[in-house]
Structures are given as structure tokens and as C-alpha cells.
Amino acid sequence: MGWFKRLKEGITTSTKEKKETPEGLWYKCPSCKKIHTAADHANNKYVCQECGYHERIGSKEYFEIIFDNNQFTELHENLVSGDPLDFSDTKKYTDRLTDTIKKTGLKDALRSAYGTVNGQDLVVCCMDFNFIGGSMGSVVGEKIARSIDFCLKTKSPLLVISKSGGARMMEAAFSLMQMAKTSAKLSQLAQAGIPYISLLTDPTTGGVTASYAMLGDLNIAEPGSLIGFAGPRVVKETIGKDLPKGFQTAEFVLEHGFLDKIVPRTELKLQLGNLLRMLKS
Amino acid sequence: MTYLDFEKPIQDLEGELVKLKEVSSKSKVDLADKIKELEQHIADKTKELYENLSAWQRVQVSRHPERPYTLAYIDHVSNKTFIELHGDRTVADDKAMVGGFGELDGQTVMFIGQQKGINTKMRQIRRFGMANPEGYRKALRLMKLAEKFNKPIITFIDTPGAYPGLEAEERGQGEAIARNLLEMAQLKVPVICIIIGEGASGGALGIGIGDRVLMLENSWYSVISPENCSTILWRTWAQKEKAAEALKLTAADMSKNGLVDGVIPEPLGGAHRNHTEIFETVKQVIKKHLAELGKISPQERINQRIEKFSAMGVVHDMDA
Ligand SMILES: [Zn+2]
């Protein structure tokens, strides 16, 4: 929210005010170090115009990129997580939730909405990495499950955008069972012949990879994304040597046969629209 | 017999018992009453210890080197009729995952499970029960085979996790597990899953979508091992006891939280103390559930299975 406000104000404000908020005006690519105006960067879907580096973005930006005229209806937006295990590590889980909700303005690590993409109906479930590392807890699973019910009822195709470090430790086995829950619900979508597209973005690992992220009728990914089951550090420890260059990148996963396609974010909407049109019964 | 650290009192008493029996046989002094008394004392002590095990102690029991593994259960339950079937038909035969047909008192059943090695060499070959993608794909192939011939499926879960290797990633570990979750949800035959030892993470769940999911009393099931949980949350292995408590990973807790369908009691002092007894218990439990599940139509079983997993999770709707 804050980012966009700053951005829009930045375009119209005077030079004096601009100087006061330089971070809202410029984007420095962490990959090639080139500097772009924030407005140009946003227009290019947060992809570096120089080197193609895809900045990590959240559900707000993805909805704006995907839905026609940024118009959509959010589903189940007021679901928040319980604390079934009364979990506490360095911080109580309930406090962590409250703090994260306040800090991010999000209720949990996934938002769901329906709208149209180049005129085609679509339900989009999009993960937010800002929310406890995009970890999959009960709310993530429940929103996907309810969104699938919505798709079954309305015969709408489903897109899930994954961006997650995996399970949410603080929900332990409840988190684990979200893998079972989402996969079981996806089996119902498959039985009904409703298309499911999975978009894997940076990063998609752990239990998310081992459930809905890999179960698309079409699995597509953003370039350069880290995609894997075990994290690279764990794999490195297992094999006891350095990992080969490019290991667990989207390009690596495509090469090994687990992705249908890598789609740059700048072409995402166009390609989604085309695919949805072709899949229509 | 290998004793766990907390079993020291039992170890001492059993040491005394051995000595007493030696004295008795050599000296011809009748010590029968004394021996009986000590045996009773050992039983009482074992009961006391095992009734009050901490979560971490149960994790230790679940990994006891003399605890029976999958193939031992299958051999007993099938009365040695088991025919092991190999390979995923694509890449390899994964020794960390076993499966095949066997007869359970005359009824053909598909048995599948992770298998840990019984000695140093076999532990390497079976990768400590950590399957590769081809293990999960072999399991799925066998499940589909069972479905084709209308045979129920029993899975035995005992794994520290899916194998986190380089080749496992190349061959799609995530996809293999995910595919099993989706396909198992729609299996037309009854599926019973039993966690007999360790049930760690997606590697366990990958053969764990059943009409009945049951845990042995001293097994554990969670999203991560206590050691790894400790490392992530507290940046050290030292908090593994605390992590084990926090994860609520015991059979009793998992059952209380509605994440498994039941707990199978173990012999006094754990399954490793009496293999025959636990095999027989497991066999009877399987028979009971197969009889119940056989009365439900395939579609109704699938619906109930999906509804059960769909109900898992704790969320609050702020609109409500
Ligand atoms: Zn760049």
C-alpha cells in the first residue's frame, strides 16, 4: 500500500518534495545495479529493464498485473490463523501473527480473488512472502480449499501463485496437513475438468513445492526463481560439496521436465489469457 | 538389548535380575520368590517410566535400533505370503521404499512402506528410510495396481523425511510427493496408513493419505524433526526436547488434535520389547478397519477421505 501511494505522489510532486523521498522514486536493481525510476520499474511489472531481474512482489502487485483494470473481488479475506498448538519459540505465535498483520497489512500469507484476465474468468490465489516467509499454515490451506470450492461452483479456472519457504513451523502438523488438504481438493478440481495453472515464483520450496505448486495442469515459472523441495543448504549438506551452478533455478527445473514453460512477468497476462482461451471447453 | 538414556533404572534392575538368576542356577539355592519379586519390580518400573514419557523420549523410542521395521510387520501380517514387487518403471528400484502383494488371512492386500536398514550396510542401501522420487513413484504405481485389481492398500510409515539429495531434486522430489497426495485422495480402494516409527514431513505424508491414519503409541508425526525444528527456531540442536514438546508430535497429541484417526497401543516398554505382540496387535487393527471400510462404497470412502483432510486446520473468520 505504502509503496504505491509514494509512487503516485512521487510522479506529481515538486522537486523539493522528491528529494525528501528518494527511496520512493528510484529503483536500483540488486542484480545489475542499474537505476530506474520507480514508475518505469512498476510499468515494467517490477522486472529490471536492463537485465530482466524479477523483483519479489506480493499479491497486491500480482492482482494489478493480472486482473483487467485491476478490478477483482477478494474471497475469504477475513480468515486469520488460530494457534492450535499454543506455540511459542522466541516469540508467542499469536504475538507473531498480530505483529505481522500490523506490519504487512495482510491477514496471512495468501490472498484469493476472482476477476477477469483479458476477458476470461479466473480465480487467483496469490502467496505473500512478506507474511512469515510465505509459510503455509491453516489459512493458506483453507483459502485454497475454499477457492477450489468456488471454482467448482462457478466453473472458473484456478491460478495459484506460489512464493513460499514451505511449511509454517508454528502450526507443525496442522501445517503439514495443508499439503494433504490442498492436494485432495485439487483432485476434485481435476475430476471436474476445470483447469488449474500453477505459477511458481521466487522462492517456491518445501511443502508448497510438494503439494499444490507442482500439481498444475500447467506448471509455469518466473525466470530465475528458486524452485525445489529441499532447500539448497540442506542438499549441500547431504552431498558434502558445492552445488552445481544454476541448481534449483526455474531453468534447471524446466530442463529436468517439471515445468511446462518459463514466462517472464512482462508477458504473464498475455500468455495467461491465451492459455485460458485455449483451455476453455 | 539397547537401553535408552532414560531407561537406566530398568537396565540396572535387569542387570540385577541376570545376576540373581546366575546365583540361583549355580548355588542351587531356591531364589524363585526373589526372582519373581524382582521381575514384578521391573514391570512396575517399566510401566511407570513408559506411562510418563516426555515427547522427546517417545521420539527416542520411535528410533530404537531394535524396533521392528516395515518388512517385519508385513511378514507377520501376511503370514509370510508377501511377494515384493520392485521398481517405478521409469528410473530405478528405490530400496528405501518397499511394496508388494500379500495375503492377510486369505484377503489379498497391497503393502507399501518406507524401509530402514537392519544393519550398517543395509542402512546405507536403504538410505535410512529416506525415499527418492522413484520410491514415491514406485509406491504410486503399486497403489494403482492395487486399485486396478480392487485390493485394499496398507502403508507403513517410518521415515526421517524424503531424501534431500541432488538427484532427488533433479528427478522432482516435490512433484513425486505432490502427485501421490493428489492420487491417493482419489483411490477407489480402502487405504489404511500406519505410522510405526518416525513420520517426518512430506516424506511421510507422501504415502499417508488414507481412510484411516493410525499411529503406534510411541511413534511421532510432524512437519519436521525436533532436531531440525530446534535448529531453525533456536539456531541450535540443543533445544530438541523443547521442540519435541512444542510440535505436539506424539500419537496422543496428534489424535487429540484430530490429525490422525487413532492410536495403536504398544507392548509394555515399547514395540521393541515384544515384536510378536505388536505385530499381532497391528494385524488385528488392520482387519477391524478393513472390515469397517469394506461396508462403505468407493465414492463415499473418497468423499469421506477428502472431507477429513479438508477439515484439518484452525482458522477464525473475522466476518462471522
Ligand atoms: Zn537489472
Distance CA A185, CA A181 (A): 6
pLDDT at residue A281 is higher than 90: no
pLDDT at residue A52 is higher than 50: yes
When CB atoms are compared, the residue of A137, A180, A258 closest to B205 is: A180
Parts of chain B with a pLDDT under 70? 320
**A111: confidence class by pLDDT, cuts 50, 70, 90:** very high
> Given an 8 Å threshold on Cβ–Cβ distance, is A256 in contact with B171?
yes
pLDDT digits (tens, 9 = 90+) for A189-199: 999 999 999 99
Query: What CATH number should be reported for the domain holding residue B129?
Result: 3.90.226.10
pLDDT at residue A21 is higher than 80: no
Q: How high is the pLDDT of residue A165?
A: 95
Closest approach of chain B CAs to the CA of A80, in angstroms? Answer: 5
Q: Is residue B316 part of a domain?
A: no
Q: Are residues B47 and B153 in the same domain?
A: no
Q: Are residues B47 and B86 in the same domain?
A: no
Q: Is residue B40 part of a domain?
A: yes
Q: How high is the pLDDT of residue A137?
A: 98
Distance CA B212, CA B232 (A): 32
pLDDT at residue A15 is higher than 80: no
> Given an 8 Å threshold on Cβ–Cβ distance, is A211 in contact with B181?
yes
> Strand pairing of A110-117 and A120-127?
antiparallel
Closest chain A residue to B315 measured between Cα atoms? A81
Q: Are residues B30 and B171 in the same domain?
A: no
Closest approach of chain A CAs to the CA of B81, in angstroms? Answer: 32
Closest by CA to A127, choosing from A211, A26, A50, A187, is A211
Q: How high is the pLDDT of residue B320?
A: 67
Mean local confidence (pLDDT), A51-67: 98
Q: Are residues B12 and B110 in the same domain?
A: no
Q: Are residues B216 and B96 in the same domain?
A: yes
Average pLDDT taken over every residue of chain A: 92
pLDDT at residue A17 is higher than 60: no
Q: Are residues B17 and B109 in the same domain?
A: no
Range of the domain at B13: 7-52
Query: What are the φ and ψ backbone dihedral angles of A136, each rounded to 5 degrees?
Result: -90, 105
> Strand pairing of B107-114 and B97-104?
antiparallel
DSSP assignment letter at A92: B
Q: Is residue B87 part of a domain?
A: yes
Closest approach of chain A CAs to the CA of B234, in angstroms? Answer: 7
Q: How high is the pLDDT of residue A23?
A: 60
B175 touches chain A (CB under 8 A): yes
Q: Which residues contact A102 (CB under 8 A, 6 or more apart)?
A: none
Closest chain A residue to B304 measured between Cα atoms? A184
What is this model's ipTM? 0.96
Mean local confidence (pLDDT), A176-187: 98
Three-class SS of residue A175?
helix
Mean local confidence (pLDDT), A199-216: 98
> Given an 8 Å threshold on Cβ–Cβ distance, is B164 in contact with A185?
no
Distance CA B254, CA B252 (A): 6
pLDDT at residue A10 is higher than 80: no
B172 touches chain A (CB under 8 A): yes
* Domains of chain A from N-terminus onward: 23-55 (no CATH), 57-279 (3.90.226.10)
Contacts of B247 in chain A (CB under 8 A): 85, 172-173
Q: Is residue B318 part of a domain?
A: no
Q: Are residues B65 and B47 in the same domain?
A: no
Grid coordinates representing B42?
521391573
Q: Are residues B14 and B77 in the same domain?
A: no
pTM over 0.90, yes/no: yes
pLDDT digits (tens, 9 = 90+) for A124-163: 999 999 999 999 999 999 999 999 999 999 999 999 999 9
